[in-house]
Amino acid sequence: MRAPEPALIRARAKAPLRDLQVLHLSNAGLECIANLEQCRHALRSLYAGENRLRDLDGLLVLRRLWRIDLSDNSLCSVNGKSPLHPLASLPALGFLCVERNQLCFEDLVCLRDMNIMEIRLQGNPTLHQDRSVLVEYHMKVAALLPNVWILDGHYISVREREHAIDEANEFVVYFLEKAKRSNDSVNAGKFGSTTDLWGGLSIASGGADEARIAVRNENVPRLVEHIHTQRTRNPDSEDRYRLQIIIALHNEESAVHNAHCKFAPSKFSRNARIMPRIPLRELFALPRRTRTEVATTLAAHLEYPMPKALLLEALTIQVLDYGELLTNAVEDLVSMPPYALSALLCLLRHHAMEEGETLQQELKLGISSCTPDSHSENTLWA
């Protein structure tokens, strides 16, 4: 199988391999990943889409990988073994794109205990046999991979996850039993049980001190460490906390990506595009009505994509009265990837709900302070 030659790796790296953070190996006719041992010290983003990849064992040495793009390849199970199995040994993995391959639900079982911020699965025919049952597909994946935060740009809330686990229980048990019989077991106990991770009851294996040390290593932003920083049993508060983490991680990743996207093999490649920053602070500063209008426009675009120029014009008109800073932020909004836009909209919704509750409480207090009690009223008329 054709592997990346050292000469190709050096040519694509444009930097010393030991210090390399981002590597573009897309569109190189590769069939397997190999010869990346020198990149193991710092590599956090690997773009290997548009190849013919079938073997990913070479990724095992890259323990710091956070973002992996394997879209448009030939990934499929061979003799019942999932091609994604090596990914289950990457503790820092937070973003995985395997769109437009030949994966099935059984291939995903090995990732069950991985904490992944987003996974993209669109374009795998076996997973999307019937477009009319998209909701069922989301539910099955959410139940099968209970530690994935975002699926195909859709944030999975705590309540959605609990519902999916209840509804798709038999579906999940079938694949887990099948994996057990084939001795292709999931990484049970790697980060603790699913119940522990999402129920807010325990600390991840390794202890809090180890987690704090790992958090300081910017190359290994493991989601499990963020999960256990602040725990809560309230689903809405939990969702809000996770959405804030998603946006913070995205803005950190955008800084790294933008510094290296110029090294993409083609300026027309998806990975050659600038990754925009999420302008959360600027949006929160908008008046409530304007913020709602912006959120509605973005939600409509997420559901029914419109031309970028049209979206840019609509948003610019909505924030025109609020300064150049907001006008510049609009350019970031129209270029955001689906998962970032989804997280932003969910967080804006939570913010609006909290504002509504605050207004209701203030209104009740205002009414009660203006309503005289019976004693005062009798005294007044006397």
Left if phi > 0, otherwise alpha if psi is -120 to 50, otherwise beta: which for 263? alpha
Task: From 284, 240, 256, 229, select the one nearest 95 (Cα to Cα).
Answer: 256
Terminal alpha carbon distance of the chain = 100
pLDDT (0 to 100) of residue 277: 87
Ordered DSSP codes for 303-319: HS---HHHHHHHHHHHT
pLDDT (0 to 100) of residue 122: 92
Task: From 149, 170, 171, select the one nearest 160 (Cα to Cα).
Answer: 149
Task: From 144, 352, 339, select the one nearest 240 (Cα to Cα).
Answer: 352
Structure-token pair, residue 249:
């991680």
3-state DSSP call for residue 47?
strand
Instruction: Compute the distance between CA of residue 83 and CA of residue 78 in angstroms, rounded to an integer.
Output: 7
Ordered DSSP codes for 68-130: EE--SS----BTTB-TTGGGGG-TT--EEE--SS---HHHHGGGTT--EEEEE-TT-TTTTS-
Longest dimension (CA), the chain: 100
pLDDT (0 to 100) of residue 247: 87
pLDDT (0 to 100) of residue 265: 76
Amino acid at 376: S
pLDDT (0 to 100) of residue 95: 93
Instruction: Compute the distance between CA of residue 145 and CA of residue 285 in angstroms, rounded to an integer.
Output: 36
Structure-token pair, residue 11:
């040519």
The pTM (predicted TM-score) of the whole model is 0.77
pLDDT (0 to 100) of residue 268: 66
pLDDT tens for the 382 residues of the chain, in order: 788 898 999 999 888 899 899 999 999 999 999 999 999 989 999 999 999 999 999 999 999 999 999 999 999 988 888 999 999 999 889 999 999 999 999 999 999 988 899 999 999 998 876 654 778 899 999 999 999 999 998 889 889 999 999 999 899 998 888 887 776 544 433 333 333 333 332 323 333 333 333 333 454 455 666 655 555 567 778 888 888 888 888 888 888 888 888 777 777 677 778 888 888 888 888 888 888 999 999 989 888 888 989 999 999 888 888 877 677 788 888 888 888 888 888 888 888 887 777 766 666 666 665 555 555 545 544 4
